[in-house]
Amino acid sequence: VQLQASGGGLVQAGGSLRLSCAASGSALSINIMGWYRQAPGKERELVAIISNGGTTKYAGSVKGRFAISRDNANDTVYLHMNSVKPEDTAVYYCMADMNGSLRPDGTYYNYDMDFWGKGTQVTVSS
């Protein structure tokens, strides 16, 4: 599975940005798609994920500001980033989890069948 992300760039604090990620090369349905990010000197963290049934999970730091959506027919996932803050600055990575599951209570079961995109830089200026 190949993942191609786009939409990163420079944005002012309080502004908006939309990231897109298209998956290709999979003959099977992708259970979970989503976004992680890694800021300089920090570990990679989950930002938002969405199941093929539409269940979502967000990091507490972005809840209410970011929205994840998905086009199952085209294996594409989007991250709508609103009211961005300087602390949102990071490299954002798209992820596709073939076998994982996401419960409505937010419990995410990952079975190490992940694919990752190359990452797209998001920089928020103050």
**Sign of the C-alpha dihedral computed for residues 94, 97, 102 and 108 taken in this order:** negative
- Indicate whether 113 pLDDT > 80: no
Q: What is the pLDDT of residue 64?
A: 97
Identity of the residue numbered 93:
Y
- Indicate whether 7 pLDDT > 90: yes
Grade residue 75 by pLDDT with cuts at 50, 70 and 90.
very high
pLDDT digits (tens, 9 = 90+) for 47-62: 999 999 999 999 999 9
Kind and range of the H or E run holding 2: strand 2-6
Identity of the residue numbered 65:
R
- Indicate whether 107 pLDDT > 80: yes
What average pLDDT does range 93-105 have in this prediction? 94
